Structure 1
Amino acid sequence: MRTLAVAGGASPSLGRAIASAVFARHPPDRWRLLLLSRSPRSPAWLRALDPHAHRHALRAVDYTSIPSLTSALRGVHTLVSVTGAVDGTQAQTQINLLHAAVNAACKRYAPSQFGLGHKAWTEIRSLRWLNQDLFGQCAKHSSNIDIAYFNHGCFMNYLGHGVFPASKPASEEEDALRTMQQVQVYKASEDSVCEGLQRCGPLSDGSGGYLIGLKSGIAELPVRPDGQWPRITLTTVGDVGRFVAASLDLPAWRGRMDMVGETVTMGQLLRHAEQVTGKTFRVTALQADAIRRKMATFSQDDFSGLLWSEIDLAYTRDKDDEAVLQPVLNNHFPDIRPVTVHKYLEKAWKQAM
């Protein structure tokens, strides 16, 4: 039996998606999960998924300490990081995990990248800041450990934010009990639509979504300099988990292991939203010059605002390997049928009605 360690694996989004996908795809005697977390407390979804901890272990670690991480990773075959921090520690955490994985003789490592294509991580200033020297450190150690980069474009789940009203969350114990009683990893309503993705998008309706608001009927879509709609690759959190789980079967991990839910134009995205809801959306076309003017009003401390605007700018460029990804893992695993944009919007809208 091999062990997959997931740094940040207790998260309700990618951590949960990867864990549930590994359990669904692989028999118990093939892969065991080790979830690394800053907290020793098991989240509700994990207790629902594996209540007796037959297939997983949760270990509290100090991401600032390579010795702590090395100790936790002894005996681990593959390490995937899904940590996310915007306080300046993200790159160093990935580098610390890399050094610990090498020290512990892990075979494969995927740092937390998950997002736009590889070019974006060097061309978008905010993403460069998140990465810092990560790529260089990974290249330096590539003879000792397989390095892979998982990217998926934009999370499709941002399109589902706002279809449910924000509600006060139940207590942890109430949440755990209800989830276990239902024998479900995702609760009905927003949890199953957004798959744990936080409401952090910049849409002006305040939903925390991105690009379109199904409930509010607005669309804020980047447009190319020639006036045409650019392309966008979107993938659900759940499909990211399924592709990562499937990739455990690959004999080697090397370089870019991109995945694609669906690539559409912004115009096609708008048409899908209007078809599903029966609404005529109020559309704001985001021109590159207007995006730059908006960026000039942000404080340099407003990392989130700057990042979203830089992502909008990337879409106006309409470049392959930046906003548009190639289906590398799709080609490896044709048995995985990702959720399409129309199907996703249809599910979100029906559940909200």
Structure 2
Amino acid sequence: MVKIAIAGGSGQVAREVIDALVVAGKHDIAILSRNASTNEIIPPGVHWRAVDYSDKNGLTEALRGTHTVLSFVQLLTDPTNLSQRNLIDASIAAGVKRFAPSEYGSARTVDMPWSAGKEETRNYLRKVNENGKVLEFTLFQPGLFLDYLASPHQTAKYVAPLDTLFDFNNRRAILVEGHEDAIITFTSVADLAAVVAQAVDFEAGEWPEVSGIRGNRMTFSQVVDIGEKIRGPFTIDKVKLKDLEAGVLRTSWGLATKHRAVTEEQASDLFKTVLTGILLSSVKGAWDISDELNHMFPHYKFEEMEAFLTKAWDGKP
């Protein structure tokens, strides 16, 4: 049994991973949070620990004896990236062996300003190790959550539905003209949580710097084909690459469901930014996820998109 610290542990993705770690039954799990919760029921072997991410010394003391730190710090609430830098510094000072920053999405951050903090953290982790490894780290990257294609229906225990450019509910999608074969990866929330839990237990060597988790690697056209097979004909909006690069988004519809970390004031601008960014970044390969953990755990069977969504949409109007 080793000690695992979960930073930002009250978040939706974090809670999915915590449950998967609890099922393994091998670890002492500390949920680090700015406000330690006393109202939620947590399973045996899990406890809350209140921390101040601006207090590096306090973080160091909180991490003493910890083997692995998994960060789920919400980037939108940490715009200066100070919380994760302090968490990395404290992990090194406390003698933590392994660290995973807040990732859980795309392979690259090109054209996605809301993910800029990920790139800063990646570079910082490389910098602290440039004169010799002091902290083993990996970037868990599953692409988009397959569960989002069931929106507005919730298929995960904690992760809430979010809109994407594939709207199965209203049978429509947005594609970049001439780039219908751009690659996008979808992995279910359950698969992400299960594979991260296996990676935490991995003892046969060091973590790879990138831990790609490839549930379903598809072209945009293939996703639409599956959508039409399950839901019927889709209406397709096609946007021009040059318009997107100019910041112009000409579509008949847009995103409407905001993440809980987004304020009402941020939402309208962010909807356009996110939709434009995902379309642009997909053309540039940002969502073509590698498969390091597929190879590390070859016997793990990922949920296939068509089967997952057929079940999710069964009986839905």
Bin for the TM-score computed over the shorter chain: 0.7 to 0.9
Sort the Cα spacing of 1:209 and 1:268 in 2 relative to 1 into closer, same or farther, 3 A. same
How far apart, CA to CA, are the structure 1 residues paired with 2:120 and 2:167? 37
Task: Decide which moves more: 124-133 or 103-112.
Answer: 124-133
Which residue identity lines up with residue 103 of structure 2 in the other structure? Q
Aligned length: 297
Which residue identity lines up with residue 269 of structure 2 in the other structure? D
Q: CA deviation at 1:349?
A: 0.5
Pairing of 1:103-252 with structure 2 (within 5 A): 103-117=93-107, 120-121=108-109, 123-124=110-111, 126=113, 129-131=116-118, 133-142=120-129, 143-162=133-152, 164=153, 190=154, 193-199=155-161, 208-223=162-177, 226-251=178-203, 252=206
Question: Does 1:340 find its partner at 2:304?
Answer: yes
Task: Give the aligned partner of residue 220 of structure 2.
Answer: 266
Q: CA deviation at 1:196?
A: 3.0
Q: CA deviation at 1:248?
A: 1.5
Scaled by the length of structure 2, the TM-score of the pair is 0.85
How far apart, CA to CA, are the structure 1 residues paired with 2:146 and 2:227? 13
Q: CA deviation at 1:263?
A: 0.3
Q: CA deviation at 1:307?
A: 3.5
Maintained 8 Å contact 1:222/1:229: no
Maintained 8 Å contact 2:3/2:30: yes
How far apart, CA to CA, are the structure 1 residues paired with 2:179 and 2:137? 39
How far apart, CA to CA, are the structure 1 residues paired with 2:119 and 2:291? 27
Q: CA deviation at 1:59?
A: 1.0
Task: Give the aligned partner of residue 328 of structure 1.
Answer: 292
**What are the superposed Cα offsets for residues 249-288 of structure 1, whole Å, 9 maximum, x if unpaired?**
22322311111111011111111111112x1111112331
2:89 to 99, 109, 113: 99
Identity fraction in percent: 24
Question: Does 1:83 find its partner at 2:81?
Answer: no
Sort the Cα spacing of 1:149 and 1:313 in 2 relative to 1 into closer, same or farther, 3 A. same
Task: Give the aligned partner of residue 13 of structure 2.
Answer: 14
Q: CA deviation at 1:32?
A: 1.8
How far apart, CA to CA, are the structure 1 residues paired with 2:146 and 2:240? 22
Q: CA deviation at 1:246?
A: 0.4
Maintained 8 Å contact 2:102/2:118: no
How far apart, CA to CA, are the structure 2 residues paired with 1:227 and 1:89? 32
Which residue identity lines up with residue 307 of structure 2 in the other structure? K
Scaled by the length of structure 1, the TM-score of the pair is 0.77
Give the 3-state SS of the residue equivalent to 1:257 in structure 2.
Answer: strand
Question: Does 1:253 find its partner at 2:207?
Answer: yes
Give the 3-state SS of the residue equivalent to 1:302 in structure 2.
Answer: helix
Give the 3-state SS of the residue equivalent to 1:71 in structure 2.
Answer: helix
Maintained 8 Å contact 1:84/1:90: no
Unaligned runs of 5+ in 2: 251-264
Question: Does 1:41 find its partner at 2:37?
Answer: yes
Q: CA deviation at 1:149?
A: 1.0
Which residue identity lines up with residue 329 of structure 1 in the other structure? L
Which residue identity lines up with residue 21 of structure 1 in the other structure? A
Task: Give the aligned partner of residue 3 of structure 2.
Answer: 3
Maintained 8 Å contact 2:187/2:215: yes
Maintained 8 Å contact 2:146/2:186: yes
How far apart, CA to CA, are the structure 2 residues paired with 1:198 and 1:292? 30
Task: Give the aligned partner of residue 174 of structure 1.
Answer: none
Sort the Cα spacing of 1:125 and 1:102 in 2 relative to 1 into closer, same or farther, 3 A. same
Give the 3-state SS of the residue equivalent to 2:49 in structure 1.
Answer: strand
Unaligned runs of 5+ in 1: 165-189, 200-207
How far apart, CA to CA, are the structure 2 residues paired with 1:351 and 1:334? 34
Task: Give the aligned partner of residue 253 of structure 2.
Answer: none
**What are the superposed Cα offsets for residues 20-42 of structure 1, whole Å, 9 maximum, x if unpaired?**
11122x2x3x3121111122115
Sort the Cα spacing of 1:80 and 1:314 in 2 relative to 1 into closer, same or farther, 3 A. same
How far apart, CA to CA, are the structure 1 residues paired with 2:217 and 2:76? 28
**What are the superposed Cα offsets for residues 4-63 of structure 1, whole Å, 9 maximum, x if unpaired?**
11111122x211211111122x2x3x312111112211564xx2x61xxx2111111112
Give the 3-state SS of the residue equivalent to 1:33 in structure 2.
Answer: strand
TM-align CA RMSD: 2.5
